[in-house]
Homo-oligomer: A and B are copies of this chain.
């Protein structure tokens, strides 16, 4: 979907014909063009899904095999499906047989990168970023960046997450026990990607979890993340103490076969850390963290995700699923930030990062949450140091707790700051955070708020070319090219409709003034006159300016 009539899609091709990276081209009224990074993909029919862009790349490497896959169970779609005896809304589009590595093979991008192999996925990511492919390969090899691409999600357009690259934004969607339908969630995913979400996490906890995820993955041009413990918990009827490694493992394989690209695993919530949260104002706020803490205490055993971590790595290596090591003990309010519970878990996540890398499995590490601005930088510095530069992926953080309903903003402040200091991906927060589930409008607001935060960080980091976009828009502003301002805006619709509220006439969009100062006087206009004056040489002094000036003020209100 194009956001503006002056937008079109162009492709930059790589070293092979089937490697064409889409960009959004903005045609400007002065004849120039501006190309923007595009996440939106080719667009899909929800019941058919997207073309399998990447299946040739995966197949031709010759290190994977098709297989029958795990047998579907009614419980995969929750208790309601079991009661009904069938799942609602089964996936109706094409379903390829699942694929995994041949026995003993490792098919992760990290594995290839470490062996010096440049994959089409790496090249695709490099072209999107406008960066050298060797930088992409070496950063992936070092673990400082990941390319999340499950072999079973060939619809995804490869992208890279790491601090040397553009800051990325994730949008959370997903139904809950309380509300929403499959179609709504697929629509939210598409909508989030339309506005620029770089990845989407499906956090569904209600009915039809399996089918919902199938619909989402088949339609998603961006990597899909999940938190498998959510579905596993549904399978034990919401009773954390009944959870087992076997149920969890089976759920992970179910999701690997569907094509989930990265999974949050709360393996750092160790039994001995749980009591450290007791004196907090808000205890444990991560749902996954609370589930694992509940399990640890109920059984008085060590977290089974920690004890089975190497086995998980072996599974992930067969599909190229990336870890995001969940911060189950993240602070839930500014008062609890950077405390012993949080930092203890981070040390364990650092240990797990190393263990995953021993399997050549790609890793991100999750971060807070709620952090006062003065403590934000410390979060990135410690994470980057302890985790040897593994990409940091943070939720906000919120810089204050007093503004429910505005937490997209309280968190955008923390997000831009933490990204400037080296966070690679930001998980969006919508205005509904802490209050309810985001609707379509909230998803859009959340994505745009985070895109602007990520971009502010890109500029602050001096990312090559990042400021070009700002400069193009500022030039259009200075030259009163209103249509170009709208077309270049992160949200052209809102920009144009806000302008039209005050000055709806088409003439106002070409007029050399705006509603702030009105037609008689305009500072932008006088600046142009100053420029002309200087260009004409200061020696000729005031007479010429008076002459120029006489043409400024004759216009009358429209």
Contacts and interface: CB of A to CB of B under 8 A. Distances in A.
Contacts of A541: 300
Interface in A104-143: none
A524 B291 CA distance: 11
Contacts of A280: 527
A511 to B, nearest CB: 11
Contacts of A453: 409, 413
A400 B439 CA distance: 27
Nearest to A452: B403
Interface in A232-250: 233, 237-241
A241 B523 CA distance: 14
A70 interface: no
A339 B205 CA distance: 52
Contacts of A402: 452, 455, 469-470, 473, 488-490
Given A490-B406, A530-B283, A335 B467 contact: yes
A49 interface: no
Q: How many copies does the complex hold?
A: 2
A459 B412 contact: no
B477 A400 contact: no
Nearest to A474: B333
A435 B275 CA distance: 52
Nearest to A461: B374
A373 B457 contact: yes
A373 B205 contact: no
B372 A399 contact: no
Given A524-B282, A557-B178, A416 B399 contact: yes
Contact of A284 (B289, B412, B488, B523): B523
A290 B523 contact: yes
B436 A334 contact: no
Contacts of A519: 177-178
Interface stretch (A40-48, A156-164, A342-350, A497-505): A497-505
Interface string A422-460: 000000000110111101000000001101110111011
Contacts of A489: 402-405
B335 A373 contact: no
A313 B177 CA distance: 67
Nearest to A453: B413
Nearest to A445: B406
B287 A517 contact: yes
A299 B545 CA distance: 9
Interface stretch (A217-225, A381-389, A532-540): A532-540
A325 to B, nearest CB: 18
Contact of A241 (B206, B435, B530, B549): B549
Contacts of A477: 282, 332-333, 401, 434
Contact of A491 (B399, B405, B470, B518): B405
B437 A515 contact: yes
A286 interface: yes
B517 A205 contact: yes
Contacts of A538: 275
A505 to B, nearest CB: 11
Given A241-B549, A332-B478, A498-B435, A452 B409 contact: yes
Contact of A527 (B284, B408, B456): B284
Interface string A517-558: 111111110111111011100100110011001000100010
B431 A498 contact: yes
Interface in A278-335: 278, 280-287, 289-291, 293-294, 297-300, 332-335
Contacts of A460: 372-374, 399
Interface SS of chain A: helix, strand, loop or mixed?
helix
A498 B432 contact: yes
A2 interface: no
Contacts of A437: 502, 515-516
Contact of A542 (B237, B299, B461, B488): B299
A151 interface: no
A97 interface: no
Contacts of A521: 205, 233, 238, 240, 287, 291
Contacts of A416: 373, 399, 413
A121 to B, nearest CB: 28
B549 A294 contact: yes
Contacts of A285: 523-524, 527
A344 to B, nearest CB: 15
A417 to B, nearest CB: 7
A410 interface: yes
A206 B520 CA distance: 10
B436 A499 contact: yes
A475 interface: yes
10 contacts: A179-B502, A281-B471, A334-B459, A334-B474, A405-B498, A406-B452, A408-B409, A413-B417, A434-B477, A436-B501
Given A275-B538, A372-B460, 11 more contacts: A239-B549, A281-B475, A290-B523, A334-B459, A374-B420, A400-B470, A402-B470, A404-B486, A405-B491, A434-B514, A436-B499
For the complex of A and B, the 8 pairs showing the least CB-CB separation, nearest first, are: A283-B527, A177-B518, A436-B502, A290-B523, A333-B474, A405-B494, A373-B460, A399-B456
